[in-house]
Structure 1
C-alpha cells in the first residue's frame, strides 16, 4: 500500500488447514489453552509420526508472518520423536486458531523512528519434563516488529531472576547483531532499551556484588552486565501486563493474548 506493507500467508494458511482436514472445526481464540502443560506422556496413545512432523513443519513455516503461534508451535515441536494423542490434540488446537485467523498478518508502517527496542521474558521451569525455562523476546525497529524468538533454555534455572537474566542475555546477543547490521546501512543506534518485567534480573545486571545469589549463574551470561555498564544496552522495567514478550513464553488468556497480538502489529488487512 502507499505507506504501509502488509505481510500475510492467508492462502498458505487455508491450504494447510484444508490439508489436515480442520477447515470445518470450531475456531479458537487462542492457539493454546491457559493451562497448557505438555509432557512426554509416555503412557499416552502413539500417533502417526510423519503426520505429526508434517503438521509441525507446516506451522513452523507459518510463524514467519504469525509470531502469535510461535510459542505454541515451539512447545509441540519438542515432542516430534514420540508424538502422543495429547500432543496431536494441541497441534489441532493451533490449526483451529489459525483457521479462524487466516487473513491475519504483520503490518509494517513507514516512520522516521529507527531506534532498536527489545522486550524479553522467561517462563521459569515451564517445561514439565526437565524443568528448563523458556526464553522469549521480540524486537522492534521504530514501531515495526522485525525479530522474535521463543526457545527453551539450555540449563535449569534455580530462580525466576536467573531465568529472566539468561533470557535478557540471549536478547542482548540479538540486539548487538542487529545494531551491527543496521550500521552497514548507516543507521546508528544509541543506547538500546531492553524491557524486562523482573526487578531482580535488572538489579543483577547493575550490581556485580550480589555473589550469593549469582555465583551459580554461568559466566557466559554475564557479558550482558558489561554491555549495561558500557551503556550499550539499558535494561528497563516494564509492568508484566505490558510485557509484549509474554506471548512468546506462556499460554495466555484470550483477552491478554489479543491485546498483545495487536501491539505486535498482527492484524487484519481490513482493520487498516
Structure 2
C-alpha cells in the first residue's frame, strides 16, 4: 500500500539542542541553559549558576541561530516536506514575565518560517520543548505554580498572532507525559533543586510527587486553553501532541 501524496516526510529538532546563540539577540536564560554536558562516566548536571569552566551544550548546540539559511537549504535538497522545530520561549520572552515579545526574536523566527515555506517545507512548531524561562522557574517554582498558565498562554497567543500566516501545525508541549513517568521535574516542569544535581534527578518524597502532578495538571490546563485559543484565532490551525515512549525493565 503506497503512502498518500499528502504524507509529510521530514525531520525534527528542539531549539535547546539545535539553535545555539544562547545569549544573543536579546534571548534570556532557559532552564536548559543550566544543564552541563555529560559523558559515559558523568551524568549531565544542573547548576544554579552558569559556571565559566563548565561546558553547556545548549549554548552553542548545532549553531542553527547563525547557520539557518544553509541548514534549511540542505533540508530542501533532501526533499523534506515538513520540519518539526521548537521556538525558544526565552528568545521571545527573555524572562517569561514580559508583556510584549522581543522584536529580534520575532524577526529571527519569521525569516526561518519564510525560508522553509519558500522551499516547500511545512513548519511544525513545538511551543514548549524543555526550554522554560529560568526566571519563571526561579521566581514561581515552574509549572507547580498555577500562574504559569498565564505566562504560557500569552506566549502561545503571541506565536499565533505573529506567525499564524506561516505556521498551521502546532504541538503545545513536547512529551507532556514525562511528569507522569517519574522524571521531568527539571527539564519539563522547571521545578528547581536548591543545589547542583543530576539533570534527571527528581524528588521522590510525597511532597515532591505532589508538586510533579500539580505541575502536570497545570500543563494540561494550559494545553487545553491554548488549543481552544488557537482554533478561535485561526480555524485552519491543527494541533497534535508528542508523547515520550520509555522502555522499562522489570
TM-score, normalised relative to structure 1:
0.30
TM-score, normalised relative to structure 2:
0.32
Look at both structures and tell me which one has the larger radius of gyration over its CA atoms. Answer: 1
